[in-house]
Chain A
Amino acid sequence: MTIEKTRNNDELIITLEGRLDTMTAPSLEEELKASFDGVQKLILDFKALEYISSAGLRVLLMAQKTMNKQGVMVIRNVNETIAEVFEITGFADMLTIE
């Protein structure tokens, strides 16, 4: 998985490519934790993300909780597979998906 970060002032756009799973979730978690400072709007772009597993969900939950305190978190370009996972797990109601 590749992680691409774009920072515009207090807006952080993270574009993910590949798979967000047990293997890759820890690296995303690290990146996020390193970048939360001063971020008021976190945009996660999933257009190149193939799928997400529960390990990925865990990171998303952590990110959501953090952003609830300092701003907003938006997820974009969710594919069908991932949308289904969000749907199943109730994350669809919890996350802001555009």
Chain B
Amino acid sequence: MKKKKKISQSFQKWLSVVIIIAFLVTTACLWVIQTKLSENNAINLLALNISDVREDIIDASDENLLKLTYEIAEEINQTDKVTSEFLERLTEKYDVTEINHINSDGIIDASTYPDFLDYDMRSGAQSGEFMVLLSGDKEYVQSYQPVSYDTSISRKYAGVVLNDGGFVQVGYGSERFQKDIDEFVVGVTRNRHVGEGGSVIIVNEAWNIVSDRQGNEGKNLETVGVWIDKDKTPAGEVFIEAVYGEPCYCMYQISEGYLVLAVMPTGEAALSRNVSVGVTTAMQILVFAALFALIFFLVRRLVVDNIYKVNESLSAISEGRLDTTVNVRSHEEFNALSDDINATVNTLKRYISEAEARIDAELAFAKAIQHSALPSVFPPYPNRKEFDIWAGMYTAKEVGGDFYDFYFVDEDTLAFLVADVSGKGIPAAMFMMTAKTFIKSFAESGMSVEEVLSHANEKLCEGNDANMFVTAWMGLLNTKTGVVSYANAGHNPPLVKHGNGTFAYLKSRPGFVLAGMEGVRYRKNEIQLLPGDTIYLYTDGVTEATNQDNELYGEERLLHIMNQKANLSSKELCEAVKADVDAFVGEAPQFDDITMLCLNYFSTDEKGVKNREVKKLTVKATVDNINAVTDFVNEQLESMDCPMKVQMQIDVAVDEIFGNICHYAYPLGEGAATICMEIQEETQAVVMTFMDNGIPYNPLEKEEPDTTLSAEEREIGGLGIFIVKKTMDEISYRYENEKNILTVKKYMKC
């Protein structure tokens, strides 16, 4: 699955996006505003400079003209008669364009221009302004402008009151005017800066530069790159034109016949804007970064950290620690969330404990059923003195897959087994019940042990969809002879103690597990238990018990404790093993069921009576000793009320068996043979055991002779053991500890 983003990451992402957009928008707005602002500043600056220059020019020309006018007025005051000729002379003397003498009625009565004579000053707006001189003012200067009389002519006039009650009006034409102030104008522009790099250019009516800062006087305005169409670009409006090769804001005004052009490089305006925007942007970055950090920190602290806290508690709950509570109380929302989760967990806990209680009850019930299916009353057969059996099952869980079982399948045959179903719990217990039932029903039908397991295997394989299996070790004890025929379905080897008092593992090749595969055949083995012998069955819960260091209890430890406690009763022995396992395991939990079964064989003698004396004779295995052996046997038989015929049969058997040992056991030399003789008074029987260390040989497997043949056809071999088989009541053979052990039993009754 794709890894999900964290809240803080999403938040960080969106917060970044929003802040960046906000930043860009504000920066763009700022840029636009600042651009406009800087343009306005430039315009204001241009207008200010133009107006300054204009005023300077006007002031200068006013002062100049007024001074001349006073001088001319003084000359007129001193003359008696003012005539046009006199004025003509003054015009030349003072180098002015026009002089008019206006009488106290406001009529021109003398003029350098004959056309102006008798002109009433009041008749034009421009000329009318001079009427203030007849109302008390001493002087008046007019700006350069078209005259009322003929608007095609522009003049600058000044007037001064005369002693005769009239006033004199002196006018400059444009040429005279410019001549008068050009010098001054140059001075005005030379040292004037517009902003840092801007300047003022003054142009006369012929579009020639009067003054600029680059020394272009006299050249056409186009020289600096400007061409102005007065109709399209009115005075006082800003336009952009490349001046001196640099784009500039430009603005002009007409003043006193001059065109005053102020220029300022747009770059300068942009610079101020750039600096302003740059500084503001830097501050914005700081502000937005701080804002980002603050919001991020707050969200992290108020939301994300708390969510993590909730999650930690939830993880603990998920891991099964249901006692964990969620305690995030910083805000109302988290408070409610914590309460809700805690309430949910509490409900869950209640349901679990209810379910547990129900399951516990059911498991306990199942355990009771399972245990009740196993024999649990000890001693189970108080009237049977031939053996003592005890079994126990210590389950790890309430129900397990182990089981033991024992029952008589006929008068003298005790079936006993221990088995282990794979797995644990209810399924294992159910399978165990099935296995136990099949095995018992087949055993009780009189089958031999290997047939029991083979048939049980077939049945268990049917419909074993769960693929469970069972290991089992099953024995059938003939309580009269002590012979145990057994079969092993993949189970641990039992421990057997023989007369010498030490336990040893009864190793036999095990067959396949039960329910593992159809068609498995099991092998029958036999051992002879002698009085006092013990056989101990167990499941791997014993040998595979594990301590806290993960060590297994193991077969060695089991063998050791068994030999330490070899002489105890079956129950005591089992309890001793369990105690030893418990001590070994210590505090570590019990993983597997522990099941064990112990059987002490006493023979047919009374249980616990120790006078079951076993007489023993060991002699060299030579024919010469047959008589000695026979005498030894007969000697034992004397204590019994032994019929002669029985004694003869026994003697023949001794002769056959001992003779066989003498002839065949030691082909390479000589060896010993031991004869044990046991009188079982209870059942009026005698048990003889022949043991030798010779080559392994089971006489019982020898093919029986064909007794129907004629003398000529007959082979003499095999007759001896055949006679023994026929005349004795029971016979068994086993090979143990490198010994051939042949046991025969004979009842005294014929």
Residues of A that sit less than 8 Å from B by CB:
19, 21-23, 50-55, 57-58, 61, 64-65, 68, 80-81, 84-85, 88-91, 93-94
What are the residues of chain B within 8 A of A21 when measuring CB–CB?
Answer: 626, 651-652, 655, 659
Given contacts A22-B655, A52-B652, contact A65 B711 (CB under 8 A): yes
In the complex, 15 of the A-B residue pairs with CB atoms within 8 angstroms, ordered by the A residue number, are: A22-B662, A51-B649, A53-B659, A54-B656, A54-B659, A55-B655, A57-B716, A57-B719, A58-B716, A61-B714, A68-B712, A81-B645, A85-B652, A89-B723, A90-B706
Query: In terms of DSSP, what is the predominant structure of the interface of chain A?
Result: helix
What are the residues of chain B within 8 A of A84 when measuring CB–CB?
Answer: 649, 727
Bitwise, B648-681 to A at CB < 8 A (1) or not (0) is: 1101100110110010000000000000000000
Q: How far is the CA of A58 from the CA of B651 in the complex (A)?
A: 17
Residues of B that sit less than 8 Å from A by CB:
623-624, 626-627, 644-645, 648-649, 651-652, 655-656, 658-659, 662, 705-712, 714, 716, 719-720, 722-723, 726-727
Q: How far is the CA of A65 from the CA of B648 in the complex (A)?
A: 27
Choose from B648, B707, B709, B714 the contact partner of A51 (Cβ within 8 Å).
B648
Residue of B at shortest CB range from A81? Answer: B648
Choose from B623, B711, B723 the contact partner of A88 (Cβ within 8 Å).
B723
Structural contact, A68 and B711, CB atoms closer than 8 A: yes
Q: How far is the CA of A93 from the CA of B711 in the complex (A)?
A: 10
Q: How far is the CA of A52 from the CA of B627 in the complex (A)?
A: 14
Structural contact, B623 and A22, CB atoms closer than 8 A: yes
Structural contact, B711 and A85, CB atoms closer than 8 A: no
Q: How far is the CA of A51 from the CA of B656 in the complex (A)?
A: 12
What are the residues of chain B within 8 A of A64 when measuring CB–CB?
Answer: 711
Choose from B651, B708, B712 the contact partner of A65 (Cβ within 8 Å).
B712
Given contacts A57-B716, A94-B714, contact A19 B651 (CB under 8 A): yes
Chain A nearest CB from B657 CB (Å) reads 10
Residue of A at shortest CB range from B710? Answer: A94
Structural contact, B651 and A51, CB atoms closer than 8 A: yes
Structural contact, A22 and B626, CB atoms closer than 8 A: yes
Query: In terms of DSSP, what is the predominant structure of the interface of chain B?
Result: helix
The 5 closest A-B pairs by CB, nearest first: A90-B707, A54-B720, A22-B659, A81-B648, A53-B655
Structural contact, B623 and A23, CB atoms closer than 8 A: yes
Given contacts A57-B716, A89-B723, contact A51 B705 (CB under 8 A): no
Structural contact, A81 and B719, CB atoms closer than 8 A: no
Structural contact, B719 and A54, CB atoms closer than 8 A: yes
What are the residues of chain A within 8 A of B711 when measuring CB–CB?
Answer: 61, 64-65, 68, 94
Q: How far is the CA of A53 from the CA of B658 in the complex (A)?
A: 12
What are the residues of chain B within 8 A of A53 when measuring CB–CB?
Answer: 652, 655-656, 659, 720, 723
Residue of B at shortest CB range from A58? Answer: B716
Chain B nearest CB from A39 CB (Å) reads 17
Residue of B at shortest CB range from A95? Answer: B711
Residue of A at shortest CB range from B708? Answer: A90
Structural contact, A90 and B709, CB atoms closer than 8 A: yes
Chain A nearest CB from B643 CB (Å) reads 10
Residue of B at shortest CB range from A67? Answer: B711
What are the residues of chain B within 8 A of A23 when measuring CB–CB?
Answer: 623-624, 626-627, 655
Q: How far is the CA of A57 from the CA of B644 in the complex (A)?
A: 21
Taking A52-B652, A61-B714 as given, write out 9 further A-B residue pairs in contact, using a Cβ cutoff of 8 Å, ordered by the A residue number.
A21-B651, A21-B659, A51-B648, A53-B652, A53-B656, A54-B716, A54-B720, A84-B649, A88-B723
Q: How far is the CA of A89 from the CA of B656 in the complex (A)?
A: 14
What are the residues of chain A within 8 A of B707 when measuring CB–CB?
Answer: 88-91
Residue of B at shortest CB range from A66? Answer: B711
